[in-house]
Structure 1
Amino acid sequence: MSYPAQPPSAEAPYGVAPNGQPYSEKSKIVAGLLQLFLGGLGIGRFYTGYTGMAIAQLLTCGGLGVWSLIDAIIFFVSETRTDKQGRLLRS
């Protein structure tokens, strides 16, 4: 049984997930698309705030494409993907 997300508040302007974590202003669909098409440059990781990992992807061309493709798939299917502040990415 799933419970509806709580409405937005000042502490969580994009709402709160059923598990109590606030939602991020970032979208996992946007992050996944950026990672899929520009993953060799680490753009999906820059978008979510993980600059260290983004620079590593940039320097390795997204792990020769493999790392960025796997990362994009994980962005699309994972329900627990977070931004740098630990907030859940919105669907």
Structure 2
Amino acid sequence: MTTPPSGPYDGSQNPEGQQPPPPYGDQQPGYQPYNQQQQPGSYPPVPGTGAPGYGAPPPGFGPPGAPYGVHPVSGIPYSDKQKMVAGLLQIFLGGFGVGRFYIGDTQTGVLQIVVTVFTCGIGSIWGLIDGIMMLTGEPNDAQGRPLRPN
């Protein structure tokens, strides 16, 4: 009765005289790690850029259609309207909805005028609170783009 080998492979169990496989962790000839393999038609990776095969974009190069930049979290292009201007217009002229008209939200602007007129000016508190929320929050314009900070 024969017993199975219990120790590491030493090549003695190979009757054809083939070379034993390399030990675990050694690299075989022609081996390249997956993250360094070059795809056909691509440039070699540029170290430190994070983008395999293309390198870093040149300075001042931004996405097309976003002349004011993009929001760092959502990636949505910024509006051409400024958050500071909209907030201050809404605080000082909030009873007339001027800040809302500035960002293109005419429906809310008209509602603020109507509420201010029907409440004899008391409804202008809505415009004041709306202006403070514009300055402290992240408001969007009528197209859903975030307002530019400053």
Contact in 2 for aligned 1:7/1:16 (Cα 8 Å): no
What residue is the counterpart of 2:112 in the other structure? 57
Identity value in percent: 49
In structure 1, the gaps of 5 or more residues are 1-5
3-state SS in 1 of match to 2:81:
strand
Question: 1:10, CA displacement in angstroms?
Answer: 3.1
Q: Does the alignment pair 1:14 with 2:68?
A: yes
Return the TM-score normalized by structure 1.
0.84
The total of aligned residue pairs comes to 85
What residue is the counterpart of 1:31 in the other structure? 86
Kindly provide the amino acid, as one letter, of the partner of residue 73 in structure 1: I
Q: Does the alignment pair 1:88 with 2:146?
A: yes
Distance 1:54 1:84 in 2: 12
Distance 1:10 1:70 in 2: 36
Task: Pick the structure with greater CA Rg.
Answer: 2
The alignment's C-alpha RMSD in Å is: 1.8
What residue is the counterpart of 2:96 in the other structure? 41
Question: 1:67, CA displacement in angstroms?
Answer: 0.6
Distance 1:14 1:46 in 2: 21
Q: Deviations over 1:24-72 (max 9, x none)?
A: 0101100011001111111000001110110001111276222111101
